[in-house]
């Protein structure tokens, strides 16, 4: 049940020894007509390519590439270098890729456009767009000329990492080099502007496209329309769409925008408009509407849309099924959700990782973790590898249920499968460790996050602070709070609420008050939970005068007290014997639109029993029952305890009178 030691938390990637040495002595040798591998068998370029492409183990492939290079059996060509570079790029072994590029240069083999594009794409996959840019600036060294296609891939790599400040200079450089931009270039630039919310600039670029003789296509228009919808400017998007020939992707973007704003009726009207204009909605159109309906729990209506989809000759895809799956789980209808899953399988629709994650999350959310774990165990054999979100869903589920053993086993499976935990997974593990008072292990895990280049966030620290405060480790929690700020992780209102609860819990009103002042200095707005925490803390120590001041500030700030607020104050007054004030406050609850509940009445009944008598308490018991509230065990315990105390007191008085009389 133990977590793997620190080093095993690191992502293990099998890497070949770098650098690997290739023999370059044959560069000056003339090309051989007949090539042998040393055993008399002839080696052809096609044989080498086939072997390289079929070899799944990168280490074995690299050894083979090196062995024939360092022998006299074969002289590598542009195509064999390309095959090896592709394999290394897929494994993100970019140092090896650079070595091969340098080796090609030494051997006088020019780098083709396709090879260079593959290098850029590999850097993109590795999340190293800046290195791709540096390599691009040396393109001439590799005997390759920049083309519009290479520029497009470079721009796309920079866009994927939101390197907007570099994109514009590259665009200007293209113009200087006399490279004629094509529709793909413009679409990448449009996407960059739209990701940066510069819709006006994107609109000007559309005009430039047309002026340059490169008419915008469906992707161009859809990019801008989608962005406007994302920014909540659906009406503006519709006005823009009127200005060009309507196409299905643009309509889909508009429908998606309307669905985001929960204007599903308008989305239906837009589908009707499509049909009236002779534009046939596609599976994406219907799936978008079905997904929106499922998000709000209107699954029955989504099935009606599904029926329309079938009538018009469209078959649902995995995204449609996943939306339905999610919709049934939101409503807690597990049986129906599983029927949808069976439908997916019957239709021969291969579930993807999103579908599996939706199923596992739905089962976990509906308290069926064992079934979720069973699905998880069968994923890989069904051809779908779990990803970090899959593990996060399971670990979160086990964390919330306090199942440390299951959470740990899932964590270890994740590490063994070389799936790198993200901040969500780490936070869930910290949470479950704290639930079991394993604070040293939790702190080690947080420290290890930085080593793993996965910085803990506010939620991670909050989980740890909450665990410490719940366990009475307030001093430690305050140290974590200070460390959190030193690491540049800003505390939020939840952080302060947890610390306040802990400080008030141990009666440390002075330090809690200092923390409230700090919140005010940092302009951190207190919420209902904060005020309830402060009121509860003051009531615990009996400072009822300050409670009313806090209540007043709360109302002035526009935060409406809830039943927890009133119940806490009523309980505080009852404890001090100020039961009449508590009763007045209970009547005030109703005026504030907050109905007294079982907790309210039980507190008042307890106060009346303690400070007045059983008869007065029975009046409120009857009032409670007349309002349709049934007493619970706590209520009856208060009344029974009061009755027996009174009975014992009367017997004691009678006994004393008897003793005195006989004397």
Question: Which pLDDT value is given to residue 609?
Answer: 87
- Residues 164-192 have pLDDT tens digits of 888 888 888 888 878 888 999 889 889 98
Question: Which pLDDT value is given to residue 644?
Answer: 76
Hey, which residues does 36 pair with through a beta bridge? 42
Q: CA–CA separation, 235 vs 444, rounded Å?
A: 52
- The residue-averaged pLDDT of 321-346 equals 94
Q: Hey, what are 231's tokens? A: 């920014």
Q: How confident is the model at residue 647 (pLDDT cuts 50, 70, 90)?
A: low
In a domain, 190, yes or no: no
Cβ(123)–Cβ(137) below 8 Å: no
Question: Which pLDDT value is given to residue 364?
Answer: 95
The per-residue DSSP string of 308-328 comes to HHHHTT----HHHHHHHHHHH
In a domain, 625, yes or no: yes
Percent with pLDDT over 90 in the chain: 40
From residue 472, how far is each of 457, 469, 508, 510 by CA, in Å? 23, 5, 12, 17
Q: Which of 161, 106, 158 is nearest to 135 (CA)?
A: 158
- The residue-averaged pLDDT of 194-200 equals 89
- Residues 235-252 have pLDDT tens digits of 988 888 887 777 899 999
Q: CA–CA separation, 593 vs 563, rounded Å?
A: 10
Q: How confident is the model at residue 10 (pLDDT cuts 50, 70, 90)?
A: very low
Question: Which pLDDT value is given to residue 42?
Answer: 57
Question: Which pLDDT value is given to residue 451?
Answer: 85
In a domain, 616, yes or no: yes
Reduced to 3 states, what is the DSSP secondary structure of residue 42? Answer: strand
Q: Hey, what are 118's tokens? A: 């593959």
Q: Which of 622, 648, 621 is nearest to 636 (CA)?
A: 621
Contacts of 464 (CB under 8 A, 6+ apart): 430, 434, 439, 442, 443, 446, 480
Question: Which pLDDT value is given to residue 33?
Answer: 34
- Residues 576-593 have pLDDT tens digits of 889 899 998 888 888 878
93 has a pLDDT exceeding 70: yes
Question: Which pLDDT value is given to residue 91?
Answer: 82
Q: Which of 498, 557, 501 is nearest to 525 (CA)?
A: 557
Q: CA–CA separation, 113 vs 384, rounded Å?
A: 34
What is the dihedral sign for C-alpha 471, 476, 479, 485? negative
In a domain, 603, yes or no: yes
* Mean pLDDT estimate for the chain: 85
DSSP 8-state assignment for residue 18: S
Question: Which pLDDT value is given to residue 111?
Answer: 86
- The residue-averaged pLDDT of 531-547 equals 90
In a domain, 604, yes or no: yes
Q: How confident is the model at residue 28 (pLDDT cuts 50, 70, 90)?
A: very low
- Residues 205-235 have pLDDT tens digits of 888 888 888 888 889 889 999 999 999 899 9
Cβ(314)–Cβ(283) below 8 Å: yes
Question: Which pLDDT value is given to residue 374?
Answer: 92
430 has a pLDDT exceeding 90: yes
Cβ(71)–Cβ(24) below 8 Å: no
Question: Which pLDDT value is given to residue 16?
Answer: 40
Q: How confident is the model at residue 642 (pLDDT cuts 50, 70, 90)?
A: confident
Q: Which of 394, 405, 410 is nearest to 435 (CA)?
A: 405
Cα torsion 234, 239, 242, 248 to 10°: value is -10
Cβ(318)–Cβ(348) below 8 Å: no
- Residues 464-496 have pLDDT tens digits of 999 999 999 999 999 999 999 888 899 999 999
Contacts by residues 654-658 (CB-CB < 8 Å, ≥ 24 positions apart): none
Question: Which pLDDT value is given to residue 649?
Answer: 54
What range defines the domain where residue 607 resides? 577-663
- The residue-averaged pLDDT of 281-302 equals 93
In a domain, 43, yes or no: no
- Residues 359-407 have pLDDT tens digits of 999 999 998 999 999 999 999 888 899 999 999 999 999 999 999 999 9
Q: CA–CA separation, 138 vs 124, rounded Å?
A: 17
Q: How confident is the model at residue 50 (pLDDT cuts 50, 70, 90)?
A: confident
In a domain, 459, yes or no: no
- The residue-averaged pLDDT of 148-177 equals 85
Higher pLDDT, 655 or 334: 334
Higher pLDDT, 337 or 646: 337
- The residue-averaged pLDDT of 63-72 equals 76
Q: Which of 611, 548, 549 is nearest to 578 (CA)?
A: 611
Q: How confident is the model at residue 661 (pLDDT cuts 50, 70, 90)?
A: low
In a domain, 596, yes or no: yes
456 has a pLDDT exceeding 50: yes
Q: How confident is the model at residue 102 (pLDDT cuts 50, 70, 90)?
A: confident
Cβ(434)–Cβ(467) below 8 Å: yes
Q: What are phi and psi of 293, to 5 degrees?
A: -65, -40
Domain count, the chain: 1
Q: Hey, what are 139's tokens? A: 């393109």
Q: CA–CA separation, 410 vs 421, rounded Å?
A: 11
């Amino acid at each position: 049940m133990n977590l793997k030691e620190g080093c095993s938390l690191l992502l293990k990637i099998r890497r070949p020894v770098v650098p690997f040495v290739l023999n370059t002595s044959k560069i000056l040798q003339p090309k051989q007509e007949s090539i042998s591998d040393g055993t008399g068998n002839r080696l052809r370029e096609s044989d080498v390519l086939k072997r390289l492409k079929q070899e799944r183990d990168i280490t074995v492939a690299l050894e083979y590439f090196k062995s024939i290079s360092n022998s006299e059996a074969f002289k590598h060509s542009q195509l064999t270098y390309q095959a090896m570079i592709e394999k290394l790029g897929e494994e993100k072994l970019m140092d090896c890729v650079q070595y091969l590029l340098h080796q090609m240069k030494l051997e006088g083999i020019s780098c083709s456009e396709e090879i260079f594009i593959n290098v850029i794409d590999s850097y993109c996959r590795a999340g190293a767009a800046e290195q791709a840019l540096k390599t691009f600036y040396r393109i001439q060294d590799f005997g390759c000329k920049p083309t519009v296609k290479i520029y497009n891939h470079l721009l796309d790599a920079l866009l994927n990492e939101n390197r907007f400040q570099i994109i514009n200079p590259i665009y200007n450089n293209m113009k200087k080099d006399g490279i004629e931009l094509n529709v793909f270039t413009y679409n990448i630039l449009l996407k960059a502007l739209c990701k940066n919310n510069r819709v006006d600039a994107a609109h000007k670029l559309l005009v430039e496209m047309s002026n340059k003789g490169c008419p915008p296509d469906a992707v161009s228009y859809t990019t801008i329309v989608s962005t406007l919808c994302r920014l909540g400017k659906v009406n503006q998007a519709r006005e823009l769409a009127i200005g060009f020939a309507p196409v299905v992707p643009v309509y889909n973007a508009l429908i998606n925008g309307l669905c985001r704003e929960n204007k599903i009726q308008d989305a239906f009207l837009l589908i009707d408009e499509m049909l009236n204009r002779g534009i046939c909605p596609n599976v994406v159109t219907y799936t978008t509407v079905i997904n929106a309906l499922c998000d709000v729990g209107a699954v029955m209506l989504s099935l009606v849309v599904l029926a329309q989809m079938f009538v018009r000759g469209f078959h649902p895809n995995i995204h449609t099924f996943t939306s339905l799956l999610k919709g049934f789980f939101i409503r807690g209808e597990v049986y129906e959700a599983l029927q949808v899953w069976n439908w997916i399988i019957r239709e021969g629709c291969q579930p993807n990782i999103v579908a599996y994650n939706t199923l596992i999350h739905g089962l976990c959310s509906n308290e069926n973790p064992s079934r979720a774990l069973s699905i998880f165990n069968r994923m890989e054999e069904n051809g779908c590898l779990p990803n970090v979100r899959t593990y996060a869903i399971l670990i979160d589920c086990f964390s919330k249920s306090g199942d440390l053993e299951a959470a740990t086993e899932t964590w270890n499976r994740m590490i063994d499968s070389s799936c790198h935990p993200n901040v969500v997974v780490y936070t869930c593990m910290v949470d479950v460790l704290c639930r079991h008072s394993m604070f040293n292990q939790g702190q080690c895990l947080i420290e290890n996050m930085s080593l793993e280049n996965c910085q803990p966030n506010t939620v991670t620290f909050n989980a740890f602070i909450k665990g410490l405060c719940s366990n009475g480790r307030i001093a430690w929690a305050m140290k974590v709070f200070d460390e959190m700020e030193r690491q540049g992780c800003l505390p939020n209102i939840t952080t302060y609420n947890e610390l306040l609860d802990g400080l008030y819990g141990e009666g440390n009103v002075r330090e809690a008050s200092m923390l409230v002042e700090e919140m005010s200095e940092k302009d951190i707005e207190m919420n209902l939970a904060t005020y309830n925490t402060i009121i509860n803390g003051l009531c615990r120590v009996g400072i009822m005068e300050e409670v009313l001041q806090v209540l007043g500030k709360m109302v002035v700030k526009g935060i409406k007290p809830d039943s927890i607020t009133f119940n806490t104050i009523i309980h505080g007054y009852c404890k001090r014997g100020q039961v009449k004030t508590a009763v007045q406050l209970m009547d005030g609850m109703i005026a504030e639109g907050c109905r007294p509940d079982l907790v309210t009445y039980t507190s008042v009944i307890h106060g009346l029993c303690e400070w007045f008598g059983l008869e007065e308490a029975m009046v409120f018991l009857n009032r409670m029952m007349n309002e349709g509230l049934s007493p619970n065990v706590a209520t009856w315990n208060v009344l029974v305890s009061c009755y027996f105390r009174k009975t014992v007191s009367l017997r004691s008085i009678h006994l004393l009178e008897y003793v005195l009389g006989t004397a």
